[in-house]
Structure 1
Amino acid sequence: MKLKQSLLIAILLSIISLAAWEIHWRSKPDYYRANLEDDRYLWAQHKAKVASATENDVVIIGSSRTGFDFNTHVWEEVQGSKPINLSTNGKPPLPFLEDIVENTDFNGTLILGVTPLLCFSPGVEQRNLEAKMWVEHYHNQTYAQKLGFWVSKPLERNLVMLTSSELKFYNDLDLKALINTISIGERIPPAPKFLNFGYNDEDRNLIMFSSMVTKPEFAEKVQNVWNSFLPYIPDYEVIKDVVPTIIEKYQEPAKKFKARGGKIILVRHKAENEWNMHTKRILPKNKVWDKFVELLDCPAYHFEDYGFMSKHTLPDWSHMNAEDAKTYTADLVNQLIKDKHLQKTN
């Protein structure tokens, strides 16, 4: 009897503790939201749509700037159809481009968002390997994994305490992230504390937390992370022999895609000068972006060439807040329609 009472008390205390924990994090909506984790499982669900996509469809690939700066709901309102959003936070687009070209028959429009440091710098190979893991997961996922994802959906949608990410942000709420917030000496140099400053909806749009705009001290923490490594990346003269080889890896899949009737549109999103001064030093536009555009021979949109692409202020120097992203998306889609690269479908 005492054992049964102890068990009931333990269960009750656990429920109370979890409820208190959940309520605590729900009280911080400017920093945490209940949402589906944007992991390889959610990405694979959207990647499956490419199999039935037609020449009239649009697929978006790129890294976090593309995820934050485009809003697919607004895109649908302007053009009439919603693009398939395969942008990936922290990962370069090359492995996803290669996968679409080699493993699908898709021949519609491919929007390729370009963040130079994540596409062309010598350290990109490790990021490519991480991206390939997502591609491999899509092709090799088991029924058990699919079932696990399906079962986890209701919990992730409703419990803020499950907030986490495959990128392992410093301010995630999983146990490993919480332990990493505990400082125990300085036996090894501390790694940059990458912060999660947004959440995603189920169309995989990345939505910046309002606190990045309303609380400058939070945005400054993210800026400090960028400043912890950007100044130490070598100048172009140090890496100039490697960069052309990296750029050329995009040429063959782009050529194949265009040969079967597909269209690629390159988009270079804005970065504030505090970030872009390093990009100019490491991967100057005339030696990298211009060569890339020439090599792929595709329509290209660079933020320095269009006023609507550069008019917004980026809270962390690199990504748009949610409201500006809506305006930016509408402006760009209208420009693409004006330039006859897209057609209205409504």
Structure 2
Amino acid sequence: MNLNKSFILAIVLALAGLICWEIFWRSKPEFYKAVLEDDRYLWAEHRAEVEKATKEDIILLGSSRTGFNFNTHVWNKVQGIKPINLATNGKPPGPFLNDIVYNTTFNGTLVIGVSPLFWFDVAENNRWQPANQWINHYHNQTYAQKLGYFLSKPFERNLVMLTSSELEFYNDLDLKSLINRVTISGRIEDDRMLYNFSYHDEDRNLMMLPIMKTDPEFAKKITYVFDGFLPSIPGFEAIKDEMPGIIDYYKNVIELFKARGGKIIFIRHKVEEPWNKVTKRFLPREKVWDVFVREVNCPAYHFEDYQFMSKYTLPDWSHMYVDDAKTYTRDMVNKLIEDGYLKKL
């Protein structure tokens, strides 16, 4: 009898502790929202849509700028087609382009957001590995993994305490992140920790948290991290000998896709000057972007050429605030329709 009482008491105390823990993190809605984690499982769910996609469909590829700057719901309202959103935060789009070209028969339209430091890089380098892991997960996921993901969905949708990320942001709520935030005497602290500053919906649209606009000091935490590594990026001399091979690599993949009837549109999203001056130094437009666009012979849009692409102020120097992203998406889709690269349904 005493054991039964102890067991019941333990359960009650555990539930009470979890409830208090959840209430505590729910009291910080400026940082945390209960959503599905944008991990390889959610990405794989959207990747599966490619298998039944038609020539009329659109796939979005790119890194975080594409994830933040394009909103698939707005895109759908303007064009009548909701793109399959395969953009990935913190990962280069090259491996995902390969996956579409070599592992599918898709021959619709790819809209690829180009973040130069991620795109103009040697194929199969170390930065491609996390992307390849997601692709391998999609092709090799087990029934047990699929079941586990299905069962986890209701919890992730409703419990803020499960907030975490494969990118391991400093303010995640998993145990490792919480321990890393504990102040310990003698520990060498890195003062350039990247905080998560976004949330997402189940269509994988990334949306910047309002605190990035309402609290300039929090936004400075993000730009402070960027400012820590941007000055160390070298000039064009460090990569100029590799650039012809990089462009040829992409040209071959793109030609295969175009040969089966596919179309590709490239987008260079806006960045603020601290990012842009580094890009110009490392990958000058006239020696890289302009050469690439000419070689692959695909429609391409650069933010420096269009006022509607460059008019926004980016709180973190690199990504659009959610309200601006909706307007930008509308204008970009209308421009693509006007120029004849997309068809309104």
Over aligned residue pairs, what C-alpha RMSD do you find?
1.6
Q: Map 1:194-233 onto structure 2 (within 5 A).
A: 194-233=194-233
In the alignment, structure 1 segments of 5+ residues that lack a partner are: none
Shift of 1:123: 10
Pairwise mapping of residues 1-346 of structure 1 onto structure 2 (< 5 A)?
Answer: 1-121=1-121, 125-184=125-184, 190=190, 192-345=192-345
1:107 and 1:257 in contact (8 A); partners too: yes
Contact map agreement 1:90 1:127 (CA 8 A) in 2: no
Q: CA deviation at 1:192?
A: 4.4
1:304 aligns to what SS in structure 2? helix
Output the CA distance in 2 between the equivalents of 1:186 and 1:124.
Answer: 39
TM-score normalized with structure 2 length: 0.96
Write the letter of the residue equivalent to 2:17: S
Q: Give the Cα separation in 2 of the matches to 1:336 and 1:245.
A: 30
Cα distance in 1, alignment partners of residues 193 and 217 from structure 2: 15
Contact 1:111 1:264 in 2 (8 A): yes
- Indicate the SS of the match to 1:267: strand
- C-alpha contact (below 8 Å) 2:91/2:127 kept by paired residues: yes
Segment drifting more, 37-46 vs 228-237 = 228-237
Q: In the superposition, relative to structure 1, how do residues 188 and 243 fare at CA in structure 2: closer, same or farther (>3 Å)?
A: farther
CA positional deviation for 1:134: 0.7
Structure 1 residue matching 2:304: 3-state secondary structure: coil
Alpha carbons 2:46, 2:84 under 8 Å: kept = yes
| Residues 67-97 of structure 1, C-alpha deviations (whole Å, 9 max, x = no match) | 0000000000000110100000011111111
Q: Indicate conservation of the 8 Å contact 2:38/2:165, yes or no.
A: yes
Q: Distance in 2 between matches of 1:286 and 1:252?
A: 21
Alpha-carbon contact 1:271-1:318 (below 8 Å) kept: yes
- For the Cα contact (< 8 Å) 1:309–1:328, is it kept in 2? yes
The 8 Å contact of residues 169 and 196 in structure 2, kept in 1 or not, is answered as yes
CA, structure 1 residues 48+24, in 2 after alignment: closer, same or farther (shift >3 Å)? same
Q: Which AA in structure 1 matches 2:170? A: Y
TM-score (norm 1): 0.96
Describe the SS at the equivalent of 1:110. strand
Which letter does structure 2 place at the counterpart of 1:62? G
Q: How many angstroms does 1:264 deviate by?
A: 0.2
Shift in Å, 1:244: 3.1
- SS of the residue corresponding to residue 229 of structure 1 reads helix
Moved more, 106-115 or 23-32: 23-32
Compare 231-240 and 74-83 and name the one that shifted more. 231-240
How far apart in 2 are the matches of 1:188 and 1:220?
22
Amino acid in the other structure paired with 1:134: W
Amino acid at match of 1:114: V
Distance in 1, matches of 2:108 and 2:156, equals: 33
Residues 30 and 129 (structure 1), Cα distance of their counterparts in 2 relative to 1, 3 Å cut: same
**Structure 1 residue 181: Cα displacement:** 1.5
Q: 1:73 to 1:5 in 2, by over 3 A?
A: same
User: Deviations along 1:14-63, whole A, 9 cap, x unmatched?
Assistant: 11111111111111111111000000110011011111111111000000
Distance 1:198 1:48 in 2: 25
Deviation at 1:242, TM superposition (A): 2.6
Identical counterparts, % of pairs: 62
Counterpart contact for 1:122–1:239, Cα < 8 Å: no
Residue identity matched to 2:54: T
Q: Deviations over 1:311-338 (max 9, x none)?
A: 1110000001110000000000000000
Unaligned segments of structure 2, at least 5 residues:
none
Shifted more, 6-15 versus 307-316: the winner is 6-15
Which deviates further from its counterpart, 284-293 or 297-306?
284-293
Q: Secondary structure at the match of 1:179?
A: helix
8 Å CA contact 1:118–1:124 kept in 2: the answer is: no
Kindly tell me: are residues 193 and 186 of structure 1, through their superposed partners in 2, closer, same or farther at Cα, counting changes over 3 Å?
A: farther
In the alignment of these two chains, the number of paired residues is: 345
Counterpart CA distance in 2 for 1:14 and 1:275 is 48
